[in-house]
Amino acid sequence: MNRVALEKKVLGENDRQAAELRERFREHGVLCLNLISAPGSGKTSLLERTLRAWPRGERVAVLTGDIQTENDATRLKRFGFPVKQITTGGTCHLDARMIDRHLADWRLEEIDLLFIENVGNLVCPSSYDLGEAGKIVLLSVTEGEDKPLKYPSIFFKSELLVITKIDLLPYVPFDISKAEENARKVHPDMEMVRVSNTAGNGLEDWLGWLEQRRRTEAARAKSPA
Ligand SMILES: Nc1nc2c(ncn2[C@@H]2O[C@H](COP(=O)(O)OP(=O)(O)OP(=O)(O)O)[C@@H](O)[C@H]2O)c(=O)[nH]1
Ligand SMILES: [Mg+2]
């Protein structure tokens, strides 16, 4: 079998498993969001901020993916919500089978919001559907404002762009308006927020977006198909 045919087969099988996961999330009323960025853009930091701000009784959970180490799960478990690490052992993205396997001993009826932190990579995670309701792409101000043009697929497929590390703007030659304009060239309707995970600026916009997204999903679930 040649490489293209094999890749098609793998992606076809992944799509089938992702469709099953999406159906299970829908049945149990789980809003699943898939966070994607280059390594180190601030996915775990944003989730740390989110869990810290999250009301204790609310039912949120995280699956966090990395090639090696349990570091991100250790960071996120401190907030008392269910968190599991997925180590891929070399694979540059998560796939639907890994999600399915790591959900096996969680009761989906006890989760309202599930974050998946993908492996740090702007390319491979874009091709693998995980059954999520939406993808969120992060871009930090140290990465250059041309990234939406260089890696269009993930910016096209994500509903929200989170620009991170805005506290560093005084120190780096990053034109934030240009970055947003580039993202809009690839994805005209894309929503955007700007945050600093360290200083805390913009976090209310991110949390507000999440709240609104949960409301939209709940309304969609209630309306007849
Ligand atoms: N100045 C500044 N540093 C940040 C911000 N967000 C994250 N960092 C730092 O950036 C580094 C990487 O952050 P992580 O949250 O681990 O990034 P990540 O995207 O989860 O990284 P991977 O999981 O390895 O892909 C850490 O040293 C963070 O403290 C921010 O908003 N401002
Ligand atoms: Mg991380």
Helices (H), the chain: 3-27, 43-53, 71-77, 96-103, 147-150, 152-157, 176-186, 203-222
Mean per-residue pLDDT for 111-132? 97
Lining ligand 1 with CB less than 6 A are 37, 39-45, 66, 72, 120, 164-165, 167-168, 196-198
| Residue ranges covered by each domain of the chain | 12-214
For Cα atoms 37, 39, 42, give the angle at the middle one, nearest 5 degrees: 70
Measure the CA dihedral 108/137/84/200, to 10°: -110
Q: Is 117 helix (H, G, I), strand (E, B) or coil?
A: strand
Rounded-to-integer distance, Cα 149 and Cα 146, Å: 5
Q: Given this structure, which CATH class describes domain 12-214? A: alpha beta
Residue with tokens 């089978």: 97
Confidence label for 224 from pLDDT (cuts 50, 70 and 90): low
The protein residue whose alpha carbon is closest to atom 27 in ligand 1 is: 40
Pocket of ligand 1, candidates 34, 36, 44, 117: which has the most ligand atoms within 8 Å of its Cβ, to mutate? Answer: 44
Whose C-alpha lies nearest to ligand 1, atom 4?
A: 165
pLDDT over 70 (residue 177): yes
Between the CA of 23 and the centroid of ligand 1 the distance, in Å, is: 33
CB 122 within 8 A of CB 95: no
pLDDT band at 225 (very low <50, low <70, confident <90, very high): low
C-alpha span between 95 and 72 (Å, rounded): 18
pTM of the model: 0.95
Mean pLDDT of 116-126: 96
Residue type, 16: R
Residue 8 has pLDDT above 80, yes or no: no
- Residue 178 structure tokens: 């240009």
Q: What are the phi and psi torsion angles at 35 (to 5°)?
A: -95, 125
Helix (H, G, I), strand (E, B) or coil at 64: strand
Average pLDDT, rounded, for the chain: 95
Radius of gyration of the chain (CA): 17
Cα gap 218→225, rounded to integer Å: 13
Please give the backbone phi and psi of residue 51, each rounded to the nearest 5 degrees, phi first: -65, -35
Average pLDDT over residues 128-157: 98
pLDDT for 56-105, tens place per residue?
888 999 999 999 999 999 999 999 999 999 999 999 999 999 999 999 99
Two tokens, residue 176: 């934030």
Contact by Cβ (8 Å): 124, 149:
no
Taking a 5 Å cut-off on Cβ, the residues next to ion ligand 2 are 43-44, 72
What is the position in ligand 1's atom list of the atom closest to the CA of 47? 15
What is the number of the ligand closest to the CA of 138? Answer: 1
Q: Ligand 1 pocket test: which of 36, 37, 45 has the largest number of ligand atoms within 8 Å of its C-beta? A: 45
